[in-house]
Amino acid sequence: MVLPRADDFTREKVELGKRLFFDPILSLHRDISCASCHQPELAFSDGLRQAKGLGQLDRNTPSLINVGFLHKGILWDGSIPDLESQVLHSVRNPLEMGLSWPAACHRITGKKDYKKSFRKIYGDESLDSVMVASVLAHFQRTLIGNRSRYDQVMAGKGSFTPAEKRGWTIFFDADPKLPSGECAHCHTDPLFTDGSFQNNGLVSSRDMKDVRVDPGRSQYTGNLNDRFLFKVPSLRNVAITAPYMHDGRMKTLREVLLHYNMGGNPGYNVSPNVRPLKFSDADMDDLTAFLHTLTDAEYLKSKSQLKWQFPR
């Protein structure tokens, strides 16, 4: 994890950011917090097909687990460079929290406990959006997922069931006698994402001509070669972060595996790793069993039981 050079990482900033994360004070009507869309029990996703704030958004809410390790841009199209910028964007976005930053800072300084905490960290400087974004980003960098059963097995402190082991083998193309899953090319260990942007064949030839179809990363870069490219999501905690894909179109892991099994839809920039896989039902069952081992037990608990981790 790369931490901001000019912003020392401290426990005080994390604790203050945590309080703000669960407080709806930063939303226009004081009824939406960061945690409204990023719920701890769902690995900091929301379980909705597409995110909903003050208005309806058109993309699925990604999990925040390990978000501090994403260095190639945040959000599905990578248009936000870092966590601090993401905070600044979400608070003022009229479809998300819809509050101007001057109004947000005024509200915060009107709360004695917040004012005291910010003053303790930053001195007597006037509160600004950069300070608020900093503490919220600090908290999000503590959302580290590395305590799943998969991690225990890799550390030699547990073992897979036969089905999970077979699913692991298919996922990592580890046995020529079994089908190649082609999964680990993009969902690389240990984050189970390489942070890249790929066209995974979701868009059909018919939809390619529809201007209403989300163009993906090209909307941000202006490069037509980036059309229909979206960030490869992490598969950590994937069993509890349904629905799937950038627009939440797939409700279950089985739907996802069926999409890849058929090889997706053709397109000029579809990833070469998306091809017909010839999985049997047993292959998909075992892959699903393996994917369930990537769930961090911590994120099945209530937020009061969570233990935040501090980057070293």
Over residues 154-201, the pLDDT tens digits come to 999 999 999 999 999 999 999 999 999 999 999 999 999 999 999 999
Give the C-alpha separation, 38 to 202, whole Å: 25
Give CA–CA dist 102/107, Å, rounded.
Answer: 9
pLDDT given at position 302: 55
pLDDT at residue 195, as a whole number: 95
Question: Domains plus CATH for the chain?
Answer: 11-144 (1.10.760.10), 149-295 (1.10.760.10)
Residue 120 CB partners (closer than 8 Å, separation 6+): 12
- In the prediction, which pLDDT does 23 show? 97
Low-confidence ranges of the chain (pLDDT < 70): 299-308, 310-312
Question: Given the DSSP bridges, would you call strands 230-231 and 197-198 parallel, antiparallel or unpaired?
Answer: antiparallel
pLDDT of residue 60: 98
Q: How far apart are CA 269 and CA 280, in angstroms?
A: 27
CB 146 within 8 A of CB 265: no
Q: What is the pLDDT of residue 4?
A: 87
Other CB atoms within a 10 A radius of the CB of residue 120 amount to 10
Q: What is the pLDDT of residues 49-65, one digit of tens each?
A: 999 999 999 999 999 99
Which letter, b or e, does each residue of 200-227 get, where b requires 16 or more Cβ atoms within 10 Å of its Cβ? bbbbeeeeeeeeebbbbbbebbeeeebb
**Residue 311: what pLDDT?**
63
Write out the DSSP string of 180-233: ----TTTS-TTTT----EEB-S-S-TTGGG-TTS--BTHHHH--GGGTTBEE--
Give the integer Cα–Cα distance in Å for 118 and 20.
12
Question: What pLDDT is recorded for position 300?
Answer: 63
